[in-house]
A = this chain, B = another copy of it.
Amino acid sequence: MRVKLMDQFWEPRIRRTVQETIPYQWKALNDEIEGAEPSHAVENFRIAAGEQAGTFYGMVFQDSDVAKWIEAAAYGLRHFPNPQLEAVIDAVVDLMGRAQQPDGYLNTYFSVAEPEKRWKDFSFGHELYCAGHLIEAAVAYYETTGKRAFLDMMCRYADYIDRIMGPESDQMHVYCGHEEIELALVKLFRATNEQRYLRLSRYFVEERGKQPSFLKEEPGFGGTFKDRWFELDYHQAHAPVREQETAEGHSVRAMYLYAAMADLAIACEDATLADSLRRLWDHLTSKRMYITGGLGSQGHAERFTVDYDLPNDTAYTETCASIGLVLLAYRMLQIETDGKYGDVMERVLYNGMLSGISLDGTRYFYVNPLEVHPAVARYRHDMQHVKTERVPWFGCACCPPNIARLLTSLDTYFFTQNGTEIAMHLYAANESEFDVLGSVMRLHTETRYPWDGSVRVQVHADGPIDCALSFRIPSWCRHPRVHVNGEALAPDAVVERGYARIRRAWREGDEIELYFPMVVERIESNPKVRENAGKIALQYGPIVYCLEEADNGPDLTDICFPAESEFAAAYREDVLGGVVVLSGEGLRSDPGWEDELYRPVARRKHSVPISAVPYAFWGNRKPGEMIVWIREK
């Protein structure tokens, strides 16, 4: 399967990621961005290699920033060859090789800062987590360039881990407090066809949650404050994975675990893991997911809280958790073509993931709340995780390279192919190519999605190819239409589990037309979501909108929409790089309050024009307030 995006929404973003973000992040990793928080991540490798004096600086998982950056760059190189960049990567891989220890171990923190603590703090040491990101980077770089050096280094590391950890009595019976290596090992297995990597991944996943847990015996267990939010469920280690019923704990950790479970469900054809995932998915997306696809309701321990607890202004909704949800959703689609996975993947891509990076690709949000009042957020203790403006880098910089690697690999999320079924999950103009039982099928897709819901797909094939083409019918669309070669298909006849599934002998020139009429939808929350009671969010196609102070002035929470008011949607080239802007009438309180704090209801309101812009692009203009959920009168 090869996919080449040629659209106006994603392609320019991916290009910018390659041309602006990746060079920018390399500078950040080398501490060359003025005014940004220091990284020291490359320097740490130099120190670990013994080539420079100094002490380790940064998070215990600082290595993973470099790994994710290499992975992002490697994906970018597939579409935008760049020998200079490749030379930079080769050099840093060389450096890593010199920092790698004779037994294969590679971790700058535990080599430089606390060598005596190697493999002593699985709760928070992040050693296997960093190994996982290095492995993912190595696989990506190998797959793009065919160069084996990094891959071989990582095989040595994985072999070392495989020797000392596992089920045998002379091995450590452990798993990492932060999942990541599990899904990385599946990638390494796929790249090398070495079964032991798959076995080790499965071991880690199945060891997890056995009681009593070794994690509880570790001095580091419980986190800084040793409190209830850092108990076993924080690490998804409160029960064996097949017995976990609900999405719990640190939300990034949870997503990475579930993604690995999905990989194993596929690679090992393990139906019990798939069953667990369906349960966890339904719980996650029906009880604990923001409308943006954001995950994690609480800053403290960066975690899920309780069902329907989705506060907007104190949300954690880490960019990495959104990325993790994309990883999971796509893997679920690999397990089964069900629209519920594709719908969520689309939701998070256009909203809670994309909000993590600025239009120019060099400023970031780590936390993606759905309501920001800068003066309050800057002051309140329970909002200290909220940044009111995008920043150039973070002391804990997991998100920026993570979003880069997702964007540069975004083409890989558009389709799945399962034998003779090709399913299209996301819509954007693209050229794609598939091997169907030895025949080459190419699809040429034209659309202005997400700003317009018309999609035209042309089939190119040398001869007739008997296969199913399945197209996701977005759940936000009330009246979808599907035409094949000009003939309308009755949705009831072709749509199953959220996909129009059309099996036939496809021939050169066949054309599928999909019409997903976009209107401005007012979305309400389940009434159990306390924070959103009486409020609506505006959605246009897959895009969730917000109000910004830049368009609507301050005190956004004072605005409400009459139930009968209409919104107009219009593409505006001049706004935020070109977006559909929603315009309508809202109501605001009359002035005249002055120094009163409480008074008998007067209900004096006046009408004001309101503009809404895509949530993902908030904070790209002057600083100010932002809200997603708006009161309805």
B-contacting residues of A (Cβ < 8 Å)? 229, 282, 285-287, 289, 291, 298-301, 305-306, 309, 314, 373, 375-376, 379-382, 478, 521-530, 533-534, 536-537, 555, 557-558, 560, 563, 588-589, 593, 595-603, 631-633
Q: How far is the CB of A316 from chain B (nearest CB, A)?
A: 11
Q: Say whether A534 contacts B560, CB under 8 Å.
A: yes
Alpha-carbon distance A534/B533, docked complex (angstroms) = 11
Q: Please determine whether A601 and B522 come into contact, CB atoms closer than 8 angstroms.
A: yes
Q: Which of A285, A529, A534 has the most CB of B within 10 A?
A: A534
Q: Is B631 touching A533 in the complex (CB atoms < 8 A)?
A: yes
* A601 engages B560 (CB within 8 Å): no
Q: How far is the CA of A529 from the CA of B596 in the complex (A)?
A: 11
CB distance A523 to B306 under 8 Å?
no
Question: Which residues on the B side are within 8 Å of A631 (C-beta)?
Answer: 533-534
- Cα distance, A314 to B560, chains bound together (Å): 24
Q: How far is the CA of A537 from the CA of B309 in the complex (A)?
A: 23
Q: Which residue of B lies closest to A560 (CB)?
A: B534
B376 A599 Cβ-Cβ under 8 A: no
**B558:A533 contact, CB within 8 angstroms:** yes
- Copies of this chain: 2
In the complex, the answer to whether A555 meets B534 with C-beta atoms within 8 Å is no
* Contacts A523-B600, A526-B593 known; 12 new A-B pairs at CB < 8 A: A282-B595, A286-B597, A291-B597, A301-B381, A373-B530, A376-B530, A524-B599, A527-B557, A529-B597, A530-B557, A533-B557, A533-B631
* Docked pose: A521 CA to B598 CA in angstroms: 11
- Closest-by-CB residue of B relative to A523 is B598
Which chain B residue lies CB-closest to A593? B526
Contact between B376 and A522, CB atoms less than 8 A apart:
no
Most buried by B among A521, A522, A557: A557
Q: Output the least CB separation between A228 and chain B (Å).
A: 9
Q: Is the CB of A523 within 8 A of B601?
A: yes
Q: How many angstroms between the C-alpha atoms of A4 and B631 in the bound complex?
A: 50
User: Complex formed: what's the CA distance from A589 to B308 in Å?
Assistant: 16
With A523-B598, A601-B524 known as contacts, the answer to whether A305 contacts B379 (CB < 8 A) is: yes
- What is the CA–CA distance of A8 and B548 in the complex, to the nearest angstrom? 53
How distant is the Cα of A244 from the Cα of B495 in the complex, in angstroms? 68
Give complex CA distance A261, B589 in Å.
38
CA gap between A311 and B215 in the complex, in Å: 37
CA distance A192 to B229 in the complex (A): 54
Residue numbers in B under 8 Å from A560 (CB-CB):
533-534
Which of B306, B382, B524, B600 meets A598, CB within 8 Å? B524
Chain B residues whose CB sits within 8 angstroms of the CB of A557 once the complex forms: 527, 530, 533
A376 touches which one: B285, B305, B588 (CB < 8 A)? B305
CB contacts (< 8 Å) of A287 on chain B: these are 597
Task: Name the contact of A597 in the complex, choosing from B382, B525, B563 (C-beta under 8 A).
Answer: B525
List of B residues within 8 angstroms of A375 by Cβ: 306
- Chain B residue contacts of A536, Cβ below 8 A: 601
B306 lies within 8 A of A521 (CB): no
Residues of B within 8 A of A285 (CB): 597
| Distance, CA A229 to CA B599, complexed state (A) | 31
- Chain B's closest residue to A589 (CB) is B527
User: In the complex, what residues of B have CB within 8 A of residue A529's CB?
Assistant: 597
Interface contact B597-A526, CB-CB below 8 Å: yes
Residue contacts A-B, CB under 8 angstroms, 23 given: A289-B597, A298-B380, A298-B381, A298-B382, A305-B380, A306-B379, A309-B380, A314-B382, A382-B382, A523-B598, A523-B600, A524-B600, A524-B602, A526-B593, A527-B555, A527-B557, A527-B558, A527-B589, A528-B555, A528-B593, A533-B560, A534-B560, A534-B631
State how many angstroms separate the Cβ of A135 from the closest Cβ of chain B.
Answer: 34
**Complex: how many Å from CA A537 to CA B282?**
37
List, in ascending order, chain B residues with CB within 8 A of A301's CB: 381
**A563 to B601 CA separation, bound complex (whole angstroms):** 10
The answer for the CA separation of A601 and B567 in the assembled complex, in Å, is: 14
Least Cβ distance of A597 to chain B in Å?
5
Contact yes or no, B598 A291, CB < 8 A: yes
Give the chain B neighbours of A601 by CB distance below 8 A: 522-524, 536, 632
A505 to B232, CA, bound (A): 78
